[in-house]
Amino acid sequence: MVDLDASTLSTTDLNRRIKELAGNGVDEIRVLNPQARHNIAVGILAPCKITIEGSVGYYAASLMDGPEVTIRGNAGWALGENLMSGKIVLTRDAGASVASSIRGGEVFVSGNAGARAGISMKGGSLIIRGNAGFLTGFMMQKGKIIICGDVGEAVGDSMYEGAIYVAGKIGSLGSDAKITEVTEDELISVWETLERYGIIESVRGGQGRERVERHKDRYAFTKIVSAKRLYHFDSLERLEKRVI
């Protein structure tokens, strides 16, 4: 493991050092004294483990492909933005737009998340142990969001595909979002994800329906998807009708 003391480095030098170490095959990098600075661990495209010991500002661990990042603290806006693959674990609260536009990988928030969590997601998973703010899943295209607490107003507004699972209260559904039934397989998949993070105790034992019946009241989720009413304009121009 290599330690980098952020208090002695500019953000640019810090990112350069992380890229250099990751590119040279160093398995574990620890960033000390991040001082809630913006843009820490940006653009890391090599697999490695990065632990940030403290809170971070905007865009922490963003534009990444491959690393596993643990942040011991809070994060500002756009944590993990445009993640391609890899994993991010945040031990406390996330600001707005966590996991925005991610295309793969997994982002886990141990506390609450602000507004627009999972906005514009194009794949991957976002798991929030606490509550999430308004416009969560706005224009989500693919992927999965799991919220163990409550979610704010306009959840899933204008989403295309993907699914949002909410255990707590729903402030309101956004435009073109609807509630649909959770299948047994989906519920078990959600539970297994939560088990991995120690959010729920083991729901093992039993198979399929039996297992679901045993735990469903305790670990119930509401599933939100697109109603697909905004997929198409409902009319064409005269000329378009003729030529299309």
Partner 1 sequence: MVMGNSQIWAPWIIDDIHAKAELGRYRIRGFSSFQKVTHFDDLVFLSTGLTRFPLEGYRESCNTRTVIGSRFAKEPLVLETPIYITGMSYGALSRNAKVALARAATKVGTATCTGDGGMLPDEREAAQKLIYQVLPSRYGFNPHHLMRADAAEIVVGQGAKPGTGGLLMGIKVLDHIAQMRDLPVGIDQRSPTRHPDWLGPDDLGIKIEQLREATDWRVPISVKLGACRVADDVKLAAKAGADAIVIDSMLAGTGASAEVLLDHSGIPTVPAIVLAREALRELGLYGKVSLIASGGIRSGADAAKALALGADAVAIGIAALIALNCNKEIPGADFEKEVGVKAGYCHHCQTGRCPVGITTQDPELEKRLDPEEGAERVANFINSMTMEMALLTRSLGKGDVHSLEPEDLAALTIEASAMARVPLAGTKKVFGM
The single residue among 2, 9, 15, 32 that binds partner 1, judged by CB under 8 A, is: 15
Of the pair 106, 137, the CB lying nearest partner 1 is at 137
Tell which positions 93-132 bind partner 1, by CB under 8 A: 97, 100-101, 103, 116, 119-120, 122-123
Rounded least distance, CB 183 to partner 1, Å: 20
Establish if 17 lies at the interface with partner 1 (CB under 8 A): no
Among 8, 27, 43, 209, binds partner 1 (CB under 8 A): 43
Site string for partner 1, 167-186 (x = CB under 8 A): --------------------
Q: Which of 2, 32, 47, 65 binds partner 1 (CB under 8 A)?
A: 65
The gap between the terminal CA atoms of the chain, to the nearest Å, is 61
Question: Quick one: 140 or 148, whose CB is closer to partner 1?
Answer: 140
The single residue among 7, 12, 172, 175 that binds partner 1, judged by CB under 8 A, is: 12
Which residues are at the interface with partner 1 (CB under 8 A)? 11-12, 15-16, 38-39, 42-43, 45, 57-59, 62-65, 77-78, 81-82, 84, 97, 100-101, 103, 116, 119-120, 122-123, 138-139, 141-142, 160-161, 230-240, 242-244
